Amino acid sequence: MITIRPITVAQISDRFASSRGGGTIPNSSWSGDARYLLPVSAPVPLRELLCTFNGYTPDAKVSLLSPQLQNTEPQGWSIHAPAPTTLRNLWAVSGERSRHKIEQGHQHATSWCLYHLERSFLDLNASLPTSETRGVLIAKVRENPEMQTVPQLETEAYMPNLHLCLKGAAQRCPMSNHELDAKAKALTVVYRTTLSDWLSDSMGLDVVQAVGCDPVIVGVPDTLEFKETTADKRPRTLATLLRSIESLKFEDWQGQAAGQGWGKAEAEALVSRAAQRVSVFAAVKSSDWSIQQSPGMKMLDALEKGAEKHEEKHTMGMSM
């Protein structure tokens, strides 16, 4: 379930305390049409994000809001997009290649949600000409497994309450909790549908989605429990030095899942079978297309069209 909540500059600063002093936010990127109008950098520097929440350009040189709007609330919102439980479980116990594929699906669905969120803010201010194109700026941050104690496949996005237009000053947009909840519910539907389609089409996974519920991947248990990993507390021997904290944590989580009867071997077998299904479908589709384009089929099409023209000519002659 996607959530949208107001957030302040102070809360963001505390959230990314390690990036203070000019540092960038790990695993971050900008989205939204306003990124084409403002001098933003990638990955997202914390200073630039805080400046936009305060109503300034990312370089802090120009105030984008009129004086009466400078201190109005809210300063912006946080958008939280967690993956469904079965997808999180499959991601946590799969091999690296499968994990990257799953992350692509989650990021694709999340990006599509943020696109729809930006579109929903267009034309909210009726006093502005509807012909003006307005956009927002969104900082998208993927949770870093190295910083997690338990596996969490989720994305957090931060959108300053700063709506740009081609002419005039930027605008603030007050939103009630009811309106935010309505947007969040609509985005949840978009996320679930997009994710289900991607998992089915790109990975071949069997996905079941009941109305109003998260998608469920058939064959993946939703009862796996993960305790705090001890990977970052292991002695740094030569063997562990050759692997990152992230890989060590996934090994730990895979071991925990295996102890519950469904670990890496089961996950990789499921993904492999699903991938074979995608390959078979692609081969059948390619074969059907080749048959349609074969010389024999082209000749048959030509003969059929010729017969239709002859019949049409004969019918016209009879009618005369």
Averaged confidence pLDDT in the chain: 85
- Domain contains 15: yes
Going by pLDDT thresholds of 50, 70 and 90, the confidence category of residue 320 is very low
Angle at 281 between CA 112 and CA 273, to 5 degrees: 85
| Between residues 90 and 302, the one the model is more confident about | 90
Largest CA distance in the chain: 98
- Domain contains 96: yes
pLDDT of 204 higher than 50 = yes
pLDDT of 290 higher than 60 = no
What percentage of the chain exceeds 70 in pLDDT?
79
Distance CA 282, CA 288 (A): 10
- Domain contains 114: yes
What percentage of the chain exceeds 90 in pLDDT?
57
Q: What is the pLDDT of residue 129?
A: 45
Give the C-alpha distances (Å, rounded to integers) separating 262 from 103, 147, 184, 223: 20, 24, 33, 10
Look at 58-72, 111-125, 234-248, 266-280 and tell me which has the smallest mean pLDDT: 234-248
Q: What is the pLDDT of residue 178?
A: 93
Look at 35-49, 108-122, 159-173 and tell me which has the smallest mean pLDDT: 159-173
- Domain contains 196: yes
Counted domains in the chain: 1
pLDDT of 300 higher than 60 = no
- Domain contains 141: yes
Query: What mean pLDDT comes out for the span 273-281?
Result: 87
Q: What is the pLDDT of residue 66?
A: 82
Going by pLDDT thresholds of 50, 70 and 90, the confidence category of residue 230 is confident
Going by pLDDT thresholds of 50, 70 and 90, the confidence category of residue 106 is very high
Going by pLDDT thresholds of 50, 70 and 90, the confidence category of residue 318 is very low
Q: Which residues are paired to 207 by β-bridges?
A: 217
Q: What is the pLDDT of residue 20?
A: 82
Query: Is the separation of the CB atoms in 120 and 218 below 8 Å?
Result: no
- Domain contains 294: no
- Domain contains 253: no
- Domain contains 124: yes
pLDDT in tens, 165-179: 766 678 888 888 999
Establish whether the linkage from the previous residue to 235 is cis, with ω within 30° of 0: no
Going by pLDDT thresholds of 50, 70 and 90, the confidence category of residue 235 is low
User: What range defines the domain where residue 206 resides?
Assistant: 3-221
Q: What is the pTM of this model?
A: 0.83
- Among 48-52, 159-163, 174-178, 289-293, name the most confident range: 48-52
Q: What is the pLDDT of residue 191?
A: 97
pLDDT of 246 higher than 70 = yes
Going by pLDDT thresholds of 50, 70 and 90, the confidence category of residue 255 is very high
